[in-house]
Amino acid sequence: MFDIRYAHERGGSHHGWLQSRHSFSFADYWNPKQVGFSSLLVINEDIVAPSKGFHMHTHRNMEIISYVLAGALEHKDSMGTGSVIQPNDTQLMSAGQGISHSEFNLSSEQDVHLLQIWVVPNVADTQPKYQQMHLNEEDKRGKFHLMIAPQGHERTLAIKQDIYIYVAAFDGSEHADFVVSHNRYVYVHIAKGHIQINKTAFQSGDGIKIRQNQTLSFTDGQQCEVILFDMQPQELPKML
């Protein structure tokens, strides 16, 4: 059985230079029925105006993922890291005992469209760490690619939590199945496009909580990209 949160049900905030939609409670948006799921705390869909962005600010004890859907985002942090994040790139910043960073739209003409995802770690006050990875388009076409896991390896980043994060892209006849294991929860976020999951139609911004063992069949995608989170069977994040 699916527990569905449709895109139009999300919270939102508008700051001129930033348009954001919140799948879970965040900042001034509060919904007591949507305060995370398992270790997943935040999914924000952000659109950042040209030459604008997030000035230097600090995080602690949070695993922060940036996934760019369009445009180019410039990252700088207090560890001296400087990078540019573009489509098919994944950034993972482990804030640990504290890290400051900024994120800016490199373009003076085009918006940046991205997902900001926060996962609560299972260990506190570790050394901050920055990771970034580029995937080829074929890595995720019609299949689920493991991009973040507790133990990273080639084309997979390492996160401080019992969570496995996959990405997949579907268009036309491309299709794939994902089996939800016993004693695991899964959250599916439709990052863009349209897709059918077990013959139920979903579109960009929709989210689905799955709490029981079953096979998820992804079919009939239309320029679709899906982020799937395989997590511990707990309802809410356990804050450190």
Report whether CATH 3.20.20.100 matches the domain 3-231. no
Residue 31: per-residue pLDDT = 97
How do the domains of the chain map onto residue ranges?
Answer: 3-231
Q: How far apart are CA 168 and CA 239, in angstroms?
A: 29
Q: Angle 9-105-126 (CA atoms, 0-180°, nearest 5)?
A: 80
Confidence of residue 148 (pLDDT cuts 50, 70, 90): very high
Of 221, 215, 227, 224, the closest CA to residue 174 belongs to 221
Local confidence band at 153 (pLDDT 50, 70, 90 cut-offs): confident
pLDDT for residue 67 is more than 90: yes
227 vs 126: CA distance, rounded Å:
27
Percentage of the chain modeled with pLDDT above 70: 100
What's the whole-number average pLDDT of the chain? Answer: 96
Contacts within 8 Å (CB) and 24+ apart, 75-79: 75/101, 75/102, 75/103, 76/101, 76/102, 77/101, 77/102, 77/128, 77/130, 78/128, 79/128, 79/130
Reply yes or no on whether the pLDDT at 155 is more than 90: no
CA–CA distance, 53 with 102 (Å, rounded to integer): 8
Of 223, 214, 209, 146, which is closest to residue 178 (Cα–Cα)? 214
pLDDT of residue 114: 97
pLDDT in tens, 224-238: 999 999 999 999 999
**Residues 26-58 pLDDT 10s:** 999 999 999 999 999 999 999 999 999 999 999
pTM above 0.95, yes or no: yes
Among 40, 8, 25, 6, which residue's Cα sits nearest to residue 187? 40
Q: Is 220 left (phi over 0), alpha (psi -120 to 50) or beta?
A: left
Q: pLDDT confidence of 152, banded at 50, 70, 90?
A: confident
pLDDT for 150 beyond 90 = yes
Quote the pLDDT of residue 8: 98
How much is the CA Rg of the chain, to the nearest whole Å?
17
Query: What is the enclosing helix (H) or strand (E) of 41?
Result: strand 40-48
Would you state the pLDDT for residue 218?
A: 98
> Which pLDDT score, from 0 to 100, does residue 1 have?
80
Contact 70, 76 (CB under 8 A): no
